[in-house]
Amino acid sequence: MSEGKEKEMIKVEKLNKSFGDLHVLKDIDLKVNESDVVVLIGASGSGKSTLLRCLNFLEIKNSGKIVIEGDQIEQETHDLNKVRERVGMVFQHFNLFPHKTVLGNIIEAPTQVKGISKEQAIKEGKLLLDKVGLGDKYNVYPSTLSGGQKQRVAIARALAMKPDVMLFDEPTSALDPELVGEVLSTMKELADDGMTMVVVTHEMGFAREVGDWVVYMHDGKIVESGIPIDLFDNPRKERTKEFLGSIL
């Protein structure tokens, strides 16, 4: 994250989350400034998805602060559906509606949740599909698409709500290797357009090239974070070195 008076899009302080006796997030602190791309890395089970899901209020924290664009969000005082409109999320398994066309998938939330007119939603949806390189696919069903195309539709669908922040949870992990690149380039374009993004990924090339800040999690804690070249080329903690050694 660069210095200066940038807008703080997300601030997390001492965030804790447990499932029953399992303490999954332990005193997590995190800041994400406007237009930053923060990449979360770490072994399976370290709490990355839970952290993203807490940021989107799909999971409710046990303690700590989550501040989104200056608002400290609490389940008791905020309409979480409204907050979720500001924080879009893309999952590993696209979760498209199979019985709706590509465009039908994209206009669903804007028309049903935001009350945008169908005409307007269609117009904007087609522009978004152009943007993710699928302008000619608006009328087909998801089952006819490749995994990479499905994921790009899922990205367009999230963008259709005009979120201020986008969360990506291993968006390429379910894809055949030859389809990973097209999704990563779509994400890179989004980052270049200035979208604020938090991305969980095992794609270290993406983390290095597109990430402004990399956060390494282990066992529910942030072990180390830094700009990509420091974290990857000069990790300070033994744990980080071990993890990077195991994956690179």
Q: Which residues bind Mg ion (CB under 5 A)?
A: 49
d(CA 184, CA 193): 14
- DSSP readout, 15-26? EEEEETTEEEEE
Residue 227 beta carbon to ligand ADP: minimum distance, rounded to whole angstroms: 22
Q: Is 184 exposed, middle or buried (0-12, 13-18, 19+ CB in 10 A)?
A: buried
Q: Does 247 bind ligand ADP (CB under 6 A)?
A: no
Q: Does 248 bind ligand ADP (CB under 6 A)?
A: no
Q: Does 46 bind ligand ADP (CB under 6 A)?
A: yes
Which range, of 38-46, 105-113, 154-162, 222-230, touches ligand ADP by CB under 6 A? 38-46
**Contact between residue 187 and residue 210 where contact means Cβ atoms under 8 Å apart:** yes
The owner of tokens 């367009």 is 156
- The 10 Å Cβ neighbour count of residue 220 is 22
Selection from Mg ion, ligand ADP, none that 46 binds (CB < 5 to 8 A by kind) is ligand ADP
Q: Does 48 bind ligand ADP (CB under 6 A)?
A: yes
Which range, of 48-56, 76-84, 204-212, 224-232, touches ligand ADP by CB under 6 A? 48-56
Question: Which pair of tokens denotes residue 84?
Answer: 């979720």
Please report, as ranges, the residues that interact with ligand ADP according to CB under 6 A: 19, 22, 24, 42, 44-50
